Amino acid sequence: MHIPDGFINAGTSLGAGAASAAGIGVALRRTGDWLEDRQVPMAGLVAAFIFAVQMLNFPVALGTSGHLLGGALAAVLVGPWAGMICVSVVLLVQALFADGGLTALGLNVLNMGIVTSLVGYGTFVALRKVLPATKPAVSAAAGVAAALSVVISSVAFAAEYAIGGTGTAPVGAVAAAMVGVHAIIGIGEGLITAATVGMVLSVRPDLVYGGWGVAAPLDAGPATPAAQEAK
Amino acid sequence: MRPGTKLFIGAGLMLALALALFVSPFASSSPDGLNKVAIEKGFDDTAEDHALDGSPLAGYAVRGITDERISKALSGLIGVLMTFGVGLLIFGVVARRREKEGQPLGEST
């Protein structure tokens, strides 16, 4: 899903860069409102884990692979604002690995970090409202939200291609192909996300930002906005 | 940080490192969804060379290490540690700013 330089023209990339910078600016402020020193290692771990799992391309169809984007996973574990910062950190480090273009960095932050975190977290919260407050239900909600976030992320690419794609292929065909293949990749994203959230919930449910109501807080209690809201 | 949290972070980091070291060399090398669509729809040739193609870590390989799998494993190890480090740095600054402002717990929205 990393867009290389050249797929999308400079103007559109620049616009996406401005939008991403604004989004990350808001994310830094919002995260600064609640993040405590003791919660910093968890946020760092989420970023490091996403870097690792993004390397694990799984086959989705003949000659095609997919990998975790991680925005929804991060959003459920550390909240949507800190989550999009986690993915942005991953994308920044990946530049040294020549993965994802430099002028396309804004596009990639937007699609893989901001869109996935916001869509993923929004869907997750909506699902949690109708599901019971149990660990399996929270994991399932995270998985479904993650799957949807990948599809919407591919729609975001199609929109950017429509605005500033340098290729000559018709927008409709590109959009259909993107959504088609990412619907399958989304299943992988959903499974990895549900498994990871389930794993953290089973050992330290208090460390899951979106895990309000499933476990009694172990110490001072989660100081996340989500937990405050649920009280 | 309670000892339990330290243990959790340590174990989580070990898992991430293990995935990068031992699983990533065996990951699928097929083009991903976007690249496949680009090839199928004929716009893959609009991609430009990466500005950092000369990076010693370009393409998830460590320059100088010729064994493809070992090279990828080591690049993954470096990447995970770098991401953890940059993450700690950025989130550390974000958290410190909050402490400085002296906002009492729970009064923020």
For chain A, domain boundaries: 10-217
pLDDT at residue B108 in the model: 45
- pLDDT given at position A6: 97
Query: Does B63 reach chain A within 8 Å, measured CB to CB?
Result: no
* Cβ pair B86:A89 closer than 8 A: yes
Check residue B109 and give its pLDDT: 42
Read off the pLDDT of residues A79-91 as tens digits, 9 standing for 90 and up.
999 999 999 999 9
Contact A98 B53 (CB under 8 A): yes
Contact yes or no for B16 and A3 at CB 8 A: no
Q: Give me the pLDDT at residue B107, please.
A: 46
Higher pLDDT, A94 or A216: A94
Phi/psi class of residue B67: alpha, beta or left (left: φ > 0; alpha: ψ in -120 to 50)?
beta
- Percent of chain A surpassing pLDDT 70: 96
Q: Tell me the per-residue pLDDT of A42-68, one tens digit each, with 9 for 90 and over.
A: 999 999 999 999 999 999 988 999 999
Of B46, B60, B91, Cβ closest to residue A166: B46
What is the C-alpha to C-alpha distance for residues A146 and A136, in angstroms, rounded to an integer? 15
pLDDT at A221 over 60: no
pLDDT of residue A61: 84
Q: Do B37 and A178 touch, CB atoms closer than 8 A? A: yes
Rounded percentage of chain A residues whose pLDDT exceeds 90: 91
Q: Which of the residues in chain B have pLDDT under 50? A: 106-109
| Contact (CB<8Å) B55/A168 | no
The answer to whether residues A33 and B75 touch, using CB atoms and an 8 Å cutoff, is: no
Nearest-Cα distance to chain A for B100, in Å, is 11
**Once rounded to an integer, what is the mean pLDDT over residues A152-167?**
98
Cα separation, B43 vs A106, whole angstroms: 20
Whether A51 and B79 lie within 8 Å, measured CB to CB = yes
Tens of pLDDT, residues A98-157: 999 999 999 999 999 999 999 999 999 999 999 999 999 999 999 999 999 999 999 999
Q: Which residue of B has its CA nearest to A201?
A: B8
**Which residues of chain A have a CB within 8 Å of the CB of B57?**
96-98
**Angle between helix A171-203 and helix A71-78 axes, rounded to 10 deg:** 30
User: Helices marked H in chain A — which ranges?
Assistant: 10-32, 40-54, 71-78, 80-95, 105-108, 116-130, 135-164, 171-203, 225-230
What class does CATH assign to A10-217?
Answer: mainly alpha
What are the domain boundaries of chain B?
Answer: 3-101
- Determine the pLDDT at residue A231: 61
Cβ contact A182–B33 (<8 Å): yes
Check: CB of residue A197 under 8 Å from CB of residue A72.
Answer: no
Report the predicted TM-score, pTM, of the whole model to 2 decimal places: 0.94
Least Cα separation, residue B67 to chain A (angstroms): 17
Q: How far is Cα of residue A119 from the mean position of the Cα atoms in its chain?
A: 8
